[in-house]
Amino acid sequence: MKFVCKIMKSVLIMCLVLSSIVGSLNVSAQDSETDAETGASEVTADFTHPDDLAESYDVIVIGAGGGGMAAAIAAKDAGSNVAIFEKMPILGGNTLKSSAGMNASESKFQEAEGIEDSNELFFEETMAGGHDTNDEELVHYLVDNSASAIEWLDSMGITLSSITTTGGMSVPRAHRPEAGSAIGGYLVDGLQRNVFEREIPTFVNANVTEILEEDGVVTGVQVNIEGNEHQVNAKAVIIATGGFGGNLEMVTDNNPDLEGFVTTNHEGATGDGLVMAQEVGAQLVDMDQIQIHPTVEQETSYLITEAVRGEGAILVNKEGERFFNELDTRDAVSQAILSQTDSSAYVIFDQALRGRVKAIDQYEKMGLVKVGDTIEELATTIELDPEVLSQTLSIWNDSVANGTDDNFARTTGMEIALEEAPFYAIKIAPGIHHTMGGLKINTNAQVLNEADEAITGLYAAGEASGGVHGSNRIGGNAIADIIIFGRQAGEQSALFVN
Ligand SMILES: Cc1cc2nc3c(=O)[nH]c(=O)nc-3n(C[C@H](O)[C@H](O)[C@H](O)COP(=O)(O)OP(=O)(O)OC[C@H]3O[C@@H](n4cnc5c(N)ncnc54)[C@H](O)[C@@H]3O)c2cc1C
Could you read off the pLDDT of 144-154 as tens digits, one per residue?
999 999 999 99
Say how far apart CA 286 and CA 104 lie, in whole Å: 24
- Tell me, using a 6 A CB cutoff, whether residue 463 lines ligand 1: yes
| Predicted pLDDT of residue 46 | 83
CA of 307 to the centre of ligand 1 (A): 19
Instruction: Indicate the burial class of 342 (C-beta count within 10 angstroms; 0-12, 13-18, 19 or more).
Output: exposed
> Pick the residue with more confidence: 358 or 252?
252
CA-CA distance, 62 to 447, in Å (whole number)?
A: 14
Compute φ and ψ for 479, nearest 5 degrees. Answer: -65, -40
Angle, helices 29-38 vs 11-22, to 10°: value is 160
218: exposed, middle or buried (C-beta count within 10 Å: 0-12, 13-18, 19+)?
Answer: buried
Whether the CB-CB separation of 85 and 223 falls below 8 Å is answered with: yes
Verify whether ligand 1 is closer than 6 Å to residue 100 (CB atom).
yes
Whether 496 shows a pLDDT value over 70: the answer reads yes
Give me the percent of the chain exceeding a pLDDT of 70: 91
Q: Which ligand 1 atom minimizes the distance to the CA of 207?
A: 42
| Cβ within 8 Å of residue 372, ≥6 positions away | 378, 379, 380, 381, 422, 423, 424, 425
What is the average pLDDT score of the chain?
91
At 7, is the pLDDT very low, low, confident or very high (cuts 50, 70, 90)? very low
Q: Is the pLDDT of residue 181 over 90?
A: no
Amino acid at site 309? R
Indicate if ligand 1 lies below 6 Å from the C-beta of 19.
no
- Whether 268 lines ligand 1, by a CB cut-off of 6 Å, is yes
Angle at 291 between CA 287 and CA 292, to 5 degrees: 140
Amino acid (one-letter) located at 71? A
Could you confirm whether 330 is annotated as catalytic? Answer: yes
d(C-alpha 455, C-alpha 62), whole Å: 16
Ligand 1: does its nearest atom lie under 6 Å from the Cβ of 265? yes
Mean pLDDT to the nearest integer, 471-476: 94
Distance separating alpha carbons of residues 135 and 437, to the nearest angstrom: 11
pLDDT(470) > 50: yes
Q: How confident is the model at residue 168 (pLDDT cuts 50, 70, 90)?
A: confident
- Report strand pairing: 217-225 vs 206-214: antiparallel
> Phi, psi (5° rounding) for residue 451?
-95, 15
Ligand 1 atom at shortest distance from the alpha carbon of 242: 27
pLDDT digits (tens, 9 = 90+) for 421-462: 999 999 999 999 999 999 999 999 999 999 999 999 999 999
Is the CB–ligand 1 distance for residue 477 below 6 Å?
yes
How confident is residue 100, by pLDDT bands cut at 50, 70 and 90? confident
Angle at 152 (CA atoms; ends 151, 154), nearest 5 degrees:
60
Nearest CA-CA partner of 482 in 27, 45, 30, 94: 94
**246-304 pLDDT tens trace:** 999 999 999 999 999 999 999 999 999 999 999 999 999 999 999 999 999 999 999 99
Q: Which atom of ligand 1 is nearest to the CA of 88?
A: 47
Question: Are the C-beta atoms of residues 370 and 349 closer than 8 Å to each other?
Answer: no
Predicted local distance difference test score (pLDDT) of residue 349: 98
Nearest Cα to Cα of residue 477 among 65, 103, 181: 103
Backbone angles phi, psi at 103, to 5 degrees: -75, 140
Q: Is 271's C-beta closer than 6 angstroms to any atom of ligand 1?
A: no
Residue with CA nearest ligand 1 atom 9: 476
Q: What is the pLDDT of residue 167?
A: 84
- Quote the pLDDT of residue 182: 84
For residue 303 and ligand 1, the question of a CB distance below 6 A is answered with yes
Is the CB of 431 inside a 6 Å radius of any atom of ligand 1? Answer: no
Is pLDDT at 102 greater than 60 in this prediction?
yes
For ligand 1, atom 35, the nearest C-alpha belongs to: 63
- Of 233, 231, 223, nearest to 203 (Cα)? 223
Candidate from 27, 69, 94 with most ligand 1 atoms within 8 A of CB, to mutate: 94
Quick one: which of 63, 175, 121, 164 has its CA closest to 489? 63
Q: Where are the beta strands (DSSP E) in 264-319?
A: 284-285, 290-297, 302-303, 314-316
Could you tell me which residue, 45 or 68, shows the higher pLDDT? 68
Please state, in angstroms and rounded to a whole number, the distance separating the CA atoms of residues 95 and 438: 17
pLDDT at residue 45, rounded to an integer = 65
Could you give the CA distance from residue 45 to residue 203 in angstroms, rounded to a whole number? 11
Find, among 176, 125, 122, 168, the residue nearest to 145 by Cα.
122
Say yes or no: CB of residue 272 within 6 Å of ligand 1: yes
Q: Which of 222, 479, 483 to mutate to test the pocket of ligand 1 (most atoms within 8 A of CB)?
A: 479
3-state DSSP assignment of residue 178: coil
Q: Is 478 a pocket residue for ligand 1 (Cβ < 6 Å)?
A: yes
Catalytic residue among 330, 354, 410, 487: 330
Mutate to test the pocket of ligand 1, among 28, 176, 241, 439 (most ligand atoms within 8 A of CB): 241
pLDDT band at 35 (very low <50, low <70, confident <90, very high): very low
Q: Mean pLDDT throughout 86-91? A: 97
pLDDT of residue 179: 60
Residue 22's pLDDT band (cuts 50, 70, 90): very low
CB-CB neighbours of 55 under 10 Å: 9
Q: Report how far ligand 1's centroid is from the alpha carbon of 38 (Å).
A: 15
Q: Is the CB of 207 under 6 A from ligand 1?
A: yes
The closest-lying atom of ligand 1 relative to the alpha carbon of residue 85 is 43
Highest mean pLDDT among 19-28, 41-50, 94-103, 386-395: 386-395
Angle, helices 119-129/136-144, rounded to nearest 10 degrees: 140
Give the chain's domains with CATH numbers. 1-289+436-498 (3.50.50.60), 292-432 (3.90.700.10)
Strands 56-62 and 82-85: parallel
Distance, C-alpha 380 to centroid of its chain: 35
Tell me how far the alpha carbon of residue 65 lies from the centroid of ligand 1, in angstroms.
6
372 Cα–ligand 1 center, Å: 36
Q: What is the pLDDT at residue 16? A: 36
Q: How far, in Å, from the CA of 136 to the mean position of ligand 1?
A: 23
CB 159 within 8 A of CB 177: yes
Distance 97 CA to ligand 1 centre (A): 8
Question: Which neighbouring-strand residues pair with 296?
Answer: 303, 429
Ligand 1 centroid–CA 243 distance in Å is 7
Q: Tens of pLDDT along 308-332?
A: 999 999 999 999 999 999 999 889 9
